[in-house]
Structure 1
Amino acid sequence: MSGTLDHVMMRVGDLEESLDWYTTHLNYEEKDRWEADTFTNVYLGPEDMHEEGAMLELTHNHDQDSYDVGDAWGHIAVRVPEGDLEESYQQLMDDGVEDYRDPESCNGRYAFVKDPDGHEIEIVKRDPEQGAKWSIDHTMIRVEDADEALGFWTRKFEYEHTGRWESDSFANYFMKPEGASEEAMAVELTYNYDGRSYEMGDAWGHLAVRADDLNDYWETLEEREAEEYRTPEECDNNYAFTKDQDGHEIEVLERDFDGSLFPN
């Protein structure tokens, strides 16, 4: 099972405003889109995105212009080169981006801003060889039981630790498939020690895992007792969905980069 993280999806209220924000401030370009009767999906990413890099999927439901972010969904993190954090952050401020946590308040290690819908975006320092500027480094979700969450990603998807941070009140665990490139996105599992629970909200969509063969991958997930949220048969054998122990949705799909990102 390869399982590279393909994209992260979140919902936006004003698609054109969001597209302008991401293309202007993060220099993203539109990779593809899907127009349905009731919604639009748009895939975005840096122009020179690595083949294992993850895209951002913006979903706009035509009859809804606002969403509840909730607190189970944390943020996406985007990369800037070492030594470029303060300059990149200041450029965003000069361009009118909403500040959330500046580099000084984060000991010069990272910073946070917000997009027009209030989605949090962390800016992290990385070696340029770890991915293009503004490429997605990780997606953070909050979990109520660290042992269960780590077991889920390890057993179901064969992910392994690529980093961890233990503090007095919380822990962060970073997970990727074995052998994933530096440019691939990680999932960050945040566990707060105080036993709190979380609200999912409807602004947070899902993570997507790329499979070499959808049906083979799904069969393995079934053998490992993953929840069947939407099976391949229910999705015309184009993709499928499972859920983790906290209700975070995970899409499984095949990807053909020779043409449209979407199945015919």
Structure 2
Amino acid sequence: MEGTLDHTMLRVSDLEESLDWYQTHLEYEEKDRHEGDGFTIVYLGPEDMHEDGALLELTHNEGADDLEVGDAWGHIAVRVPDGELEEHYEQLMDEGVEDYRDPESCDYNYAFVTDPDGHEIEIVKRDVGALWSIDHTMIRVEDADEAIGFWTRKFGYDEVGRWEADSFANYFMEPTDAAEEAMSVELTYNYDGRSYDMGDAWGHLCVRVDDLADDWDQLMTREADDYRDPESNDNMYAFTTDQDGHEIELIERDLEADSLFPF
């Protein structure tokens, strides 16, 4: 099983405000929406995103107006062409986006802003994929060996890059032969042995698989956590968790279907 990373889900306190933010500043369009009993899910992404590009899922739960952004959740990173980091950053500043870490403070290699709920958005230089498409999702882990082992053994992912500093390291994981436009998982490990709070503003990562039942059985054979099995979700999707409790959804999606939702 080497499923593509399909989307990252973030919870938001004001859906319309968040939709306006992502549609205005990152030029995302609404791809699909599901109105559930007490919640709404909206899929967003660039207009011309690649079929293996990752969607952003915004979920709003009725009555959830005070969300906590825990430190186990890091950020999503979005792409701008090499040489245009400062230009696009200044555009966001002119539009009133909140500055978090400007390009100068990051040696002009990247920058950070935050959305209305305080979710961090990294801006990275990539000459691949649509403008503002999601490059990677970063989560923090308490044991690098366990985290890398989880993604390699459970999902068959490869470690495709790492960056080691004096106090922390970043490890990038993705499926073998993943499209350049696909999203990676960035695992951040701090050497000081700290623990993290998950919070409720961070939702999950989602892996798109070829056969939900077969791939779920394979995960169970590989001793993954049985968090929410396919049967408990009407065989439409399932969830496992990694060693730190980050939720990972499995979904079987027909890219040619009228709806992105398997309902």
Structure 1, unaligned runs of 5 or more: none
Q: Distance in 2 between matches of 1:262 and 1:165?
A: 36
1:190 positional shift? 0.1
Q: Distance in 2 between matches of 1:250 and 1:64?
A: 22
Mapping for residues 18-97 of structure 1, pairs under 5 Å = 18-97=18-97
Task: Give the TM-score normalised by the residue count of structure 1.
Answer: 0.98
Mapping for residues 179-198 of structure 1, pairs under 5 Å = 179-198=177-196
Q: Which residue is equivalent to 2:259?
A: 260
Q: Is the partner of 1:31 in helix, strand or coil?
A: strand
Structure 2, unaligned runs of 5 or more: none
**Conservation of the 8 A alpha-carbon contact between 1:75 and 1:120:** yes
Q: Which residue is equivalent to 1:147?
A: 145
Question: Any idea what the Cα deviations from partners look like across 1:92-138, whole Å, max 9, x if unmatched?
Answer: 000000000000000000000000000000000011xx211100000
**Conservation of the 8 A alpha-carbon contact between 2:2 and 2:157:** no
Residue identity over aligned pairs, in percent, reads 76
**Conservation of the 8 A alpha-carbon contact between 1:155 and 1:224:** yes
Question: Any idea what the Cα deviations from partners look like across 1:119-169, whole Å, max 9, x if unmatched?
Answer: 000000011xx2111000000000000000000000000000111100000
1:201 positional shift? 0.2
1:2 positional shift? 2.9
1:63 positional shift? 1.4
Q: Which residue is equivalent to 2:247?
A: 249
Aligned residues: 262
1:22 positional shift? 0.2
1:257 positional shift? 2.0
Once the two structures are overlaid, the 10-residue window that deviates more, 62-71 or 101-110, is 62-71
Q: Is the partner of 2:20 in helix, strand or coil?
A: helix
Q: Distance in 1 between matches of 2:58 and 2:73?
A: 15
Mapping for residues 215-234 of structure 1, pairs under 5 Å = 215-234=213-232
Is residue 178 from structure 1 mapped to residue 176 from structure 2 by the alignment?
yes
Q: Distance in 1 between matches of 2:76 and 2:164?
A: 20
**Conservation of the 8 A alpha-carbon contact between 2:13 and 2:64:** yes
Q: Which residue is equivalent to 2:4?
A: 4
Question: Any idea what the Cα deviations from partners look like across 1:59-99, whole Å, max 9, x if unmatched?
Answer: 00011112000100000000000000000000000000000
**Conservation of the 8 A alpha-carbon contact between 1:2 and 1:212:** no
Task: Give the TM-score normalised by the residue count of structure 2.
Answer: 0.99
> What letter corresponds to residue 73 of structure 1 in structure 2?
W
Question: Any idea what the Cα deviations from partners look like across 1:217-251, whole Å, max 9, x if unmatched?
Answer: 10100000000000000000000000000000000
